[in-house]
Homo-oligomer: A and B are copies of this chain.
Amino acid sequence: MLRMSKMTDYGIVLLTELARAGSETRTARELAAGTGVPLPSVSKVLKGLQGAGLLVSHRGASGGYGLSRPAEHIPLTEIISALEGPVSLTECGAQGGHAPTGTCELETVCRVRGHWRVINRTIQDALGRLTLADLCAPVPRLVGLGVPARPAAPAQNPNPIPTTAGGAHS
């Protein structure tokens, strides 16, 4: 499935809500009400985003959270990696030092490893080119994602087999 954790999903929803508030701050309570995310989880996610430097917080009465910089300057990769570590499909290729060489017991025989670095960078590039501001735009009219503007065809994929094993998982 290759999915993000729910918390990261929450984080993105909360950030877009916050971006819509412009320079005003919002309390965790307000954001919970506005998005439908349960308050304790909102709290936890916001704390994480604050720790990563994406949000600034004001404590005390009439406190709240605000973006630390304009939404245009917050790339999607940074949001994701703030909440669940470096964007990487495999442990071994993670640049953050998650697998400090030696963790993967197959390392000596693994002939695939070098390729993951490239693949991971590709995904990071695609995700990093998208900012929080893009996610706030009303209609998904995203360009410059690194994929040539092109119809729905699977591009240079010359095999006629329907991608994704068809019914196996549906």
Q: A residues touching B (Cβ–Cβ < 8 Å)?
A: 1-4, 9, 12-13, 16, 34-37, 51-53, 69, 73-78, 80-82, 84-91, 94-98, 105-106, 108-112, 114-115, 117-119, 121-130, 134-136, 138-140, 142, 144-148, 150, 154-159, 161, 163-165, 168-170
Measured CB to CB, the closest approach of chain B to A107, in angstroms, equals: 9
Measured CB to CB, the closest approach of chain B to A79, in angstroms, equals: 9
For the complex, what is the distance from the CA of A157 to the CA of B154, rounded to whole Å?
Answer: 27
Is chain A's interface secondary structure helix, strand, loop, or mixed overall? loop
Q: Is the CB of A88 within 8 A of B3?
A: yes
Q: Is the CB of A164 within 8 A of B89?
A: no
Give 9 new A-B contacts, CB below 8 A, not counting A77-B154, A123-B126: A2-B80, A3-B89, A34-B109, A51-B168, A73-B161, A85-B164, A96-B170, A117-B140, A128-B163
Q: How many copies does the complex hold?
A: 2
Residues in chain B near residue A75, CB distance under 8 A: 154, 157, 159, 163
Q: Which 8 A-B pairs have the closest CB atoms?
A: A81-B164, A52-B165, A85-B169, A73-B159, A114-B140, A1-B85, A82-B165, A146-B147
Residues in chain B near residue A86, CB distance under 8 A: 1, 164, 169
Q: Is the CB of A111 within 8 A of B16?
A: yes
Q: Is the CB of A88 within 8 A of B130?
A: no
Q: Is the CB of A110 within 8 A of B13?
A: yes
Measured CB to CB, the closest approach of chain B to A131, in angstroms, equals: 8
